[in-house]
Amino acid sequence: MRETAKLSLIAVLIVTVFTIAANSPSASSGHYVVTNENAEGSNSNAATVFKLGGSRLNPVLNVLNTLSTGGLPSYSTVPNVQLVRNGSDICLFLTHSESVDVAAFVYPALSEVGTYTDPSVNVTWPSLSLIAHGQYLFVGYNDTYNGGYYLASWGVESGCKLTLLNTVHIDNLNLNDLAVSPNGQTLVVTYSNTASGIFDSFSIQPGGSFVEHGPYFTMNSSQVIGVDITKDGKFSIIGIRQDMGSPSTDMLAVLPIDPDGTLGSPTYFSENAIAGYSNYTAYVALSPDERFLYVDYGTDGFHTTFPVTTTLNFTENPLSITYTGCSTTLKDSDAGLQASGMATASPSGSGGALYVSEYFGSNANAVALLAIDSTTGCTTEAPSSPFYTGQSGRLNSIVAWPPRPF
């Protein structure tokens, strides 16, 4: 009886996912996932474009196109691939860490515009992250081993061309995740320096210049990893990983964003404080209706359990994070499986489905497809998931189209 009920629930969730994909006549209205393969050991990086399709009982992600992006990938932080609408153009941007540049494509024709390098950036062991908003692209450049950390703003021009606007040097802080407030006025970043527990906020001025308000500190022996911002721009949610030893206690910090771009005092939600929740936390993603917060724990050398994606209940007023009781252990989990980046398939409601980036050591890149129950936020992985890109490397970031509206 329990098994029958479970199968019935899966069928309902799968129908929900496929309803999203059913009306996908063109690239402007279809549902897609784009990856940055970070193809380690390759002379050239690649991007993979998936299209959501299949049947009601077995939704799938089909590889639509593989783009040779021409740059040298190596390791990149998250996010490292973005889609943004600029006028009549849909622009695809992704990083090449080793060649320290950003590749630009016009989507959906997927014609390459070019690669862009910041001449003021001097790094020899780089990792890059980027976030797009409106007519701006913000890029973090890191040299993890030799020092040298930069934050740059680029203007997104007609035809998805980029124009460098401003670059600032950041002292000894390794930029990791980035998020822009929906009004485009505040950039929140996390720094992944070991044991520092540091994050920051910047006001974005007209013309792409920055006013820094931090850095801010959480607690010792921690890393701040993922970041997201609420639709009204009033709160930033940060995933904190206490992985300086084992056992660890990860947590979430919710910080008010003041109108001037500064961050207020954090409210902490530890695993111990979220009743029933015992999984690790690193990356975070709000559902489009903000009722749910999806979290996973990314990668590290301390956590040895299989990657798990968890759904938490979230409210702003009163500020609250509670456990739904729902966690999904990703299929094909083994000691080499790493998961981090997430995106929802639908731009409304609970998100319809959740995409999760995966890589298996340096052997295979894939995207997991998880159906979302619109009432509970619980996720169930599709029967044929995960879906392999055919590339190897460090797939730790994905982007979905249509995008979440904030």
Find out whether the peptide bond into 247 is cis, omega within 30 degrees of 0: yes
Q: How far apart are CA 42 and CA 61, in angstroms?
A: 25
Q: How far apart are CA 366 and CA 295, in angstroms?
A: 18
Render pLDDT for 195-245 as a digit per residue (tens, 0 to 9).
Answer: 567 899 999 999 999 999 999 987 666 778 899 999 999 999 999 877 554
Q: Residue 55 above 50 pLDDT?
A: yes
Residue with tokens 């153009």: 89
| pLDDT of the residue at 220 | 61
Pick one of 2.130.10.10, 3.40.50.10490, 3.40.630.10, 3.30.460.80 as the CATH number of 2-401: 2.130.10.10
User: Coil, strand, or helix at residue 184?
Assistant: coil
Q: Residue 246 above 60 pLDDT?
A: no
Q: How far apart are CA 52 and CA 21, in angstroms?
A: 6
User: Coil, strand, or helix at residue 14?
Assistant: helix
Q: Which of the residue ranges 84-88, 105-109, 249-253, 254-258 has the most confident prediction, judged by mean pLDDT?
A: 254-258
| pLDDT of the residue at 27 | 46
| pLDDT of the residue at 248 | 55
Q: Residue 10 above 80 pLDDT?
A: no
| pLDDT of the residue at 298 | 63
How many percent of the chain have pLDDT more than 90? 56
Q: How far apart are CA 405 and CA 289, in angstroms?
A: 10
| pLDDT of the residue at 307 | 79
Share the mean pLDDT of the chain.
Answer: 84
| pLDDT of the residue at 196 | 66
User: Coil, strand, or helix at residue 335?
Assistant: coil
Render pLDDT for 362-376 as a digit per residue (tens, 0 to 9).
Answer: 568 999 999 999 999
In this structure, the dihedral spanned by the alpha carbons of residues 113, 118, 119 and 123, taken in order and rounded to 10 degrees, is -130
Q: How far apart are CA 142 and CA 111, in angstroms?
A: 28
| pLDDT of the residue at 225 | 87
- Bridge pairing between strands 337-344 and 364-372: unpaired
DSSP letters for 114-134: EEE--TT---SSEEEEEEEET
Lowest mean pLDDT among 13-17, 130-134, 277-281, 335-339: 13-17
Considering only residues 22 and 185, tell me which one the structure prediction assigns the higher pLDDT.
185
Q: Residue 87 above 70 pLDDT?
A: yes
Q: How confident is the model at residue 4 (pLDDT cuts 50, 70, 90)?
A: very low
Lowest mean pLDDT among 22-36, 95-109, 139-153, 189-203: 22-36
How many percent of the chain have pLDDT more than 70? 80
| pLDDT of the residue at 29 | 64
